[in-house]
């Protein structure tokens, strides 16, 4: 065995404790830990090291989140200082902390329009749950209690708490959980690569918008509260909607008094070369903005729901039956978490991370697109540092691999062996690296991916899958 990076922790003990006691998120209980998990022990910029000392390029920033890169000394020192001063005090009712107040003000300055009021939580799911509770509260306050239905989208990802999971339009993940889906309608995925037969690229956007309007009329606008959407779908497969789609969908929402929720958990804080993408990139003005991940670069759990002044004015009106807005978490406005968020944003802005992503994002996409020449790469898509490859058995018919081939996982495994971590999602691999990723990292990533795909193609031929 290689020398352990953490001399106090025996690798065999970690494996044993993990296997016996940890329930992993999205666990595959059948396959779990046949060989023992990879134990990640240290990170530096876009490199990550396992406990056996093996070095990898982190092609996914942990889970789309370590935007400023691993092991940032400045942020670590700031976290230490805040912990020594005051790690935590509650922010219920009339208590606050300088970091919660200042981070809220900073987010208000970054978010477009009148998105000026921030509710803090610990992650994206909680922030989406908060958004929906606020929407319901808002329409109840307005005396429109029938406006309860939610428009989401197939393959949209919004989290894993009871409600956020229901908002998530990935049907296979719903099985077995009895999620509260009665009030949710899932619109079609705006998926240019897999648009319906007979619809050309030019009319595809209008086709989707017509479908949305038909659904709104069918349900009745008086019954619909909100539309939730990621500007670019992430975990559903890095799906970029046709040009103009989001603007037209938002225009419909305005027409029918439907509130818009921009789930920017992945897209904000530099991944697409902008701090906030709704207005700057997609030219839309949401009523609610949901933030997490890059907000703290994953150094501590933090999420935020930002609402418009108009919504805030309504939900803060006096209410006869209960004077409180009875929603809150122990860790809302957590002093250390908010201090981390503030410092993280300062670093992102000061060190020009958006400029870096704008410079290298197009090169990354261009290089990755060269892999479309390989046999099984159906499409390379995405933008800047949010990219994916979709694999098919036949490029003409766009036939997907059977589930049991586990194509994304195979290429993940082949890449990991070569020192690159990518994310397998069904028939795809996702790339969402730390924003420190430079030309060397991009070139090495492309080289490893190419070798890994070619090796996998050879194996698939031998196994008769191709
Ligand atoms: N929204 C989006 C767009 C996400 O990608 C995620 C997480 N991948 C979430 C919400 C949920 O965030 P969390 O896992 O922090 O609860």
Q: Is residue 265 lining ligand 1, measured as CB closer than 6 Å?
A: yes
Residue 2 has pLDDT above 50, yes or no: no
Q: Is residue 266 lining ligand 1, measured as CB closer than 6 Å?
A: yes
38-68+352-462 and 75-350 in the same fold: no
Residue 7 has pLDDT above 70, yes or no: no
Q: What is the number of the ligand 1 atom nearest to the C-alpha of 126? A: 16
Phi, psi of 327 (to 5 degrees): -145, 125
With residue 410 as reference, give the H or E element that holds it. helix 407-417
pLDDT tens for each residue of 276-318:
999 999 999 999 999 999 999 999 999 999 999 999 999 999 9
Per the model's pLDDT, the better-predicted residue between 439 and 20 turns out to be: 439
- CA–CA separation, 66 vs 18, rounded Å? 23
What residues does each domain of the chain span? 38-68+352-462, 75-350
Contact (Cβ atoms closer than 8 angstroms) between residue 433 and residue 61: yes
Specify the 3-state DSSP secondary structure of 152.
strand
Contact (Cβ atoms closer than 8 angstroms) between residue 466 and residue 393: yes
pTM of the model: 0.97
Contact (Cβ atoms closer than 8 angstroms) between residue 426 and residue 406: no
Residues 6+ apart with CB under 8 A from 269: 67, 275, 291, 293, 294, 295, 297, 344, 345, 348
- Interval between CA 291 and ligand 1 midpoint (Å): 9
| CA-proximal residue: ligand 1, atom 1 (nearest) | 158
Across residues 261-269, what is the average pLDDT? 98
> Where would I find the beta strands (DSSP E) of 392-464?
420-421, 423-425, 428-431
Across residues 11-19, what is the average pLDDT? 88
- CA–CA separation, 295 vs 281, rounded Å? 18
Sign of CA dihedral 199, 205, 210, 216: positive
CATH code of the domain made up of 38-68+352-462: 3.90.1150.10
Q: What is the number of the ligand 1 atom nearest to the C-alpha of 64? A: 8
Contact (Cβ atoms closer than 8 angstroms) between residue 276 and residue 111: yes
Residue 104 has pLDDT above 80, yes or no: yes
Q: Is residue 230 lining ligand 1, measured as CB closer than 6 Å?
A: yes
- Interval between CA 228 and ligand 1 midpoint (Å): 13
What whole-number percentage of the chain has pLDDT above 90?
91
Q: Output the CA–CA distances (angstroms, integers) from residue 233 to 122, 174, 191, 214, 456, in the order listed.
A: 21, 18, 10, 23, 27
CATH 3.40.50.620 is held by the domain 75-350: no
Give me the pLDDT at residue 37, please.
84
Residue 28 has pLDDT above 90, yes or no: no
pLDDT tens for each residue of 134-175:
999 999 999 999 999 999 999 999 999 999 999 999 999 999
Across residues 70-89, what is the average pLDDT? 98
Is ipTM > 0.95 here? yes
Q: Is residue 125 lining ligand 1, measured as CB closer than 6 Å?
A: yes
With residue 48 as reference, give the H or E element that holds it. strand 47-50
Give me the pLDDT at residue 142, please.
97
Tell me the two tokens of residue 119. 């509710």
Q: Is residue 234 lining ligand 1, measured as CB closer than 6 Å?
A: yes
pLDDT tens for each residue of 164-207:
999 999 999 999 999 999 999 999 999 999 999 999 988 999 99
Phi, psi of 357 (to 5 degrees): -70, -35
- What is the DSSP code string of 257-271? T-EEEEE-TTTTTTT
Mean pLDDT, the chain, whole residue set: 96
Residue 3 has pLDDT above 60, yes or no: no
Q: What is the number of the ligand 1 atom nearest to the C-alpha of 234? A: 5
């Amino acid at each position: 065995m290689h020398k352990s990076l953490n001399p106090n922790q025996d690798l065999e003990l970690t494996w044993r404790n993990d296997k016996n006691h940890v329930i992993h998120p999205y666990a595959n209980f059948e396959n779990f830990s046949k060989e023992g998990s990879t134990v990640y022990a240290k990170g530096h910029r876009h490199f990550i090291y396992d406990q056996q000392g093996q070095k990898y390029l982190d092609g996914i920033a942990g889970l789309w989140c370590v935007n400023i890169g691993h092991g940032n000394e400045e942020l670590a020192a700031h976290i230490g200082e805040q912990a020594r001063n005051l790690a935590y005090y509650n922010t219920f009712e009339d208590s606050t902390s300088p970091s919660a107040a200042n981070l809220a003000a900073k987010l208000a300055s970054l978010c477009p329009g009148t998105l000026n009021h921030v509710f803090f939580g610990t992650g994206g799911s909680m922030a989406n749950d908060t958004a929906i509770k606020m929407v319901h509260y808002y329409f109840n306050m307005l005396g429109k209690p029938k406006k309860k239905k939610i428009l989401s989208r197939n393959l949209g990802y919004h989290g894993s708490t009871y409600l956020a999971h229901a908002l998530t339009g990935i049907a296979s993940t719903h099985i077995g959980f009895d999620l509260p889906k009665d009030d949710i309608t899932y619109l079609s995925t705006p998926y240019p690569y897999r648009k319906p037969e007979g619809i050309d690229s030019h009319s595809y956007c209008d086709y989707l918008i017509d479908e949305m309007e038909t659904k709104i009329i069918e349900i009745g606008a008086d019954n619909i509260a909100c539309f939730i959407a990621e500007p670019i779908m992430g975990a559903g497969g890095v799906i970029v909607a046709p040009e103009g789609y989001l603007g037209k969908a938002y225009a419909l929402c305005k027409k029918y008094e439907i509130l818009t929720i921009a789930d920017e958990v992945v897209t904000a804080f530099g991944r697409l070369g902008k701090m906030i993408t709704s207005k700057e990139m997609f030219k839309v003005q949401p009523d609610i903005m949901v933030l997490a991940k890059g907000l703290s670069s994953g150094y501590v759990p933090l999420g935020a729901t930002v609402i418009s002044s108009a919504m805030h004015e309504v939900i803060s009106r006096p209410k006869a039956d209960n004077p409180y807005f009875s929603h809150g978490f122990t860790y809302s406005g957590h002093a250390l978490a908010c201090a981390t968020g503030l410092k993280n944003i300062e670093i992102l802005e000061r060190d020009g991370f958006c400029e870096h992503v704008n410079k290298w994002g197009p090169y990354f996409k261009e290089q990755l697109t060269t892999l479309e020449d390989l046999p099984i790469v159906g499409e390379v898509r995405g933008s800047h540092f949010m990219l994916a490859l979709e694999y098919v058995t036949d490029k003409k018919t766009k036939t997907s691999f059977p589930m049991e081939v586990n194509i994304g996982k195979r290429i993940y495994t082949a890449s990991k062996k070569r020192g690159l971590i990518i994310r397998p999602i069904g028939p795809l691999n996702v790339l969402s690296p730390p924003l420190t990723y430079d030309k060397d990292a991009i070139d090495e990533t492309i080289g490893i991916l190419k070798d890994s795909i070619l090796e996998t193609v050879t194996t698939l031929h031998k196994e008769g899958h191709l």
